[in-house]
Structure 1
Amino acid sequence: MKTLRHFFDLPGIRKALLLEAACWLVLARLLVRFLPFRSWSRCLGIQMPGLGEVEWVDADSDALAREISRTITGLNQRLGGRFTCLMLAMALHWMLSRRRISSSLVLGAQNVKDVNERLTLKAHAWVRVGSGVVLGDIGDQYAPISSFVRSFRLPEDPVR
């Protein structure tokens, strides 16, 4: 009840952002849980090997991308961490795309030893805007395998 009261006290723009994030997270969860990757991976953008370069992003877009990322991760924390890194990355990637902010959803992997000293593969997803990571702490642990890029041109300066 306290959370609901807090939600209604938020400014309208913040409420809209939270509701949009919730909708994208639910869609991402449904796709990941119930459909094979090959059937929905096309909606993530153009697939490229490795990191997949995106165009430079201006400071305002970068700040907005970080704000949306904080909204998504905060919502996930409020819901008890029910969403995987892939679901969070998909939601952010789609929200940035709606705002015509170029981004790259990166899928990576890492070899780790389990309790029986066997090597296992651990996967992770993160989102890059420009040259920086805005969602998903990767450090140097994960090797980028594939990226899904959505790139938008920056507005040109008018000719005078």
Structure 2
Amino acid sequence: MKRRRSWKSKLERARTVDWRERGLLVEAAAQLLAARVRIAILPFRTIAKDLGTFVPPADKRIADCRAAAPVERRGMAEKVSWAVTRAAVHVPFRAVCLPQAMAAHAMLRRRGIESAVHFGARRGEEKPIDAHAWVDAAGVEVTGYPIDAGMKEIGAFV
């Protein structure tokens, strides 16, 4: 059984993170909350408009997001990945793949880094279909990884 940390130990651990990383964590938590609220109150077609252009999996723009990028862009994509995945564990609501993808995409866009928000599906065991979202940017697997082998990509927003 996994032991949950107390708030006191979490605060003590947070003090070891430098101010830049703390700022990224706060931004990631705020973006996760914004994504959860948007998902709860808006139809997906409205959310989709903010994600960009929907393209098929073979589109060149998706390959561009998966390709290696200059060190500073790659480094920032890695930091955004770290912040979103870390914040998702600690926010007081469920932050599954779609809110994480939306948060990472917004943070990367704010920094001028192109990203692809992928959507995939597979036949489910408990429900008819399982869906998943993941993000690539600057050659970095930002959120949603690893991807289940049975997951088939439907398309992506770029």
Q: Give the TM-score normalised by structure 1.
A: 0.79
Q: Structure 1 residue runs of 4+, over 3 Å off?
A: none
CA deviation after TM superposition for structure 1 residue 133, in Å: 2.6
Where do 5+ consecutive residues of structure 2 fail to align? Answer: 1-7
SS of the residue aligned with 1:122? strand
Match of 1:127 in 2: 135
Moved more, 128-137 or 42-51: 128-137
Match of 1:146 in 2: 155
Larger Rg: 1
Q: Alpha-carbon deviations, 1:123-145, whole Å to 9, x = none? A: 00000124553211214321111
Q: Does 1:18 align with 2:25?
A: yes
The structure whose residues are more often helix, as a share, is 2
Q: Give the TM-score normalised by structure 2.
A: 0.80
Match of 1:113 in 2: 125
RMSD: 2.1
SS of the residue aligned with 2:156? strand
Identity of matched residues, %: 31
The structure whose residues are more often strand, as a share, is 1
Query: CA 1:72–1:9 in structure 2 vs 1: closer, same or farther (change >3 Å)?
Result: same
CA deviation after TM superposition for structure 1 residue 12, in Å: 1.6
